[in-house]
Amino acid sequence: MNVLGIETSCDETGVAVVVDGVTIRANEVATQGAKHAAYGGVVPEIASREHTRVISQLSELALAQAVGKIDLIAATAGPGLMGALLVGVNFAKAMAYTWRVPFVPVHHIEGHIFSPFIDGAPPQWPALALIVSGGHTQLIYCAGEHRYELLATTRDDAVGEAFDKVARLLDLSYPGGPSVQRAAENGDPAAFRFPRAFRGSDTLEFSYSGLKTAVLYALQDKPDANVADVAASFQAAAVDVLLEKTKLALQQTGAPRLIVAGGVAANKLLRDRLEAEIDVPLHIPPLPLCMDNGAMIAAAGYWRYQAGYRGTLDDTPSAGLSLVA
């Protein structure tokens, strides 16, 4: 089954063709990073306009690489920026109507959850999922196919957002994750003692605004602080908490496998520490599938369709769509 997957929830336009939820035929991503860089974060209006500008061209590119006709169209229906979501969902519905193929709306986080299973073995359940991106920091217990329980989220900033904000404080480029990681390579992670929220407590909740503020105060205190040392100390603190809470959630749920996905799953320190310290099978996507993309939406849409879900042309996106029914 050839599935066209469309992702436009934030600042990446993604269009992909994936066969049977696993084999990528095309995965085109247009990143708007440069358009938002001057503002240090995503500007919703610019995002919508950019999606509108590139989506047709990107789809033509993806479809040219596909073999045979498209059988199903999946698009991200939320959560995300409303204007941005509308572009992808309406494009997908128009294509589905024209080609007389089914349309399946997909939850963005479910896309991330399915991303490690592309080009690999089919997903197995139950599983614990750690979703770490610019908008989310969540621990989700996946009891079975499409059965989710939200165990924890962040009380304030998402971990990716903290990387982006700290990058701005350090005058590093946007998006902050890759630039902070690069700066941290030559730094001393023990140079600054930054806080680890809820360390040692039995809550699974996250909080990242205190860490960001601690970096701000450290820089006010020492304006000539070594950027590499600050970046490395911040990254160590951010990743420490992810490891601690994930281990605790594995213990509490007894989940036999761990999924880690979302943009921050590209972080090398996080990946290395997960490999070294987690003793259940780890499912983490290759770097290009960590960031938002259409392939993960096609994959999730395929598994939804197989489970009997069908969208309609009346479906509209929702900026605050919930994963837990």
- Residue 175 or 301: the one with the smaller Cβ distance to ligand KG4 is 175
14 binds ligand KG4 (CB under 6 A): no
181 binds ligand KG4 (CB under 6 A): yes
Name which position in 7, 157, 229, 292 contacts ligand KG4 (CB under 6 A).
292
- Residue 50 or 292: the one with the smaller Cβ distance to Zn ion is 292
- Residue 78 or 187: the one with the smaller Cβ distance to Zn ion is 78
Name which position in 13, 133, 137, 253 contacts Zn ion (CB under 5 A).
133
d(CA 265, CA 311): 30
Contact between 25 and 17 under an 8 Å Cβ cutoff? The reply is yes
Largest CA distance in the chain: 63
Give how many residues touch ligand KG4 by CB under 6 A. 20
- Residue 85 or 96: the one with the smaller Cβ distance to ligand KG4 is 85
137 binds ligand KG4 (CB under 6 A): no
Tokens representing residue 305 in the block: 């369709």
Distances (CA, A) of 183 to 129, 134, 208, 228, 243: 28, 19, 20, 5, 21
Secondary structure of residue 251 in the 3-state scheme: helix
- Options 46-54, 63-71, 97-105, 292-300: segment touching Zn ion (CB under 5 A): 292-300
175 binds ligand KG4 (CB under 6 A): yes
Contact between 138 and 131 under an 8 Å Cβ cutoff? The reply is yes
Helices within the chain (DSSP H only) = 33-37, 44-65, 82-99, 108-114, 159-169, 176-184, 209-221, 227-253, 268-277, 294-306
Which residues contribute to the site for ligand KG4 (CB under 6 A)?
10, 133-135, 160-161, 163-164, 175-178, 181, 262-264, 266-267, 291-292
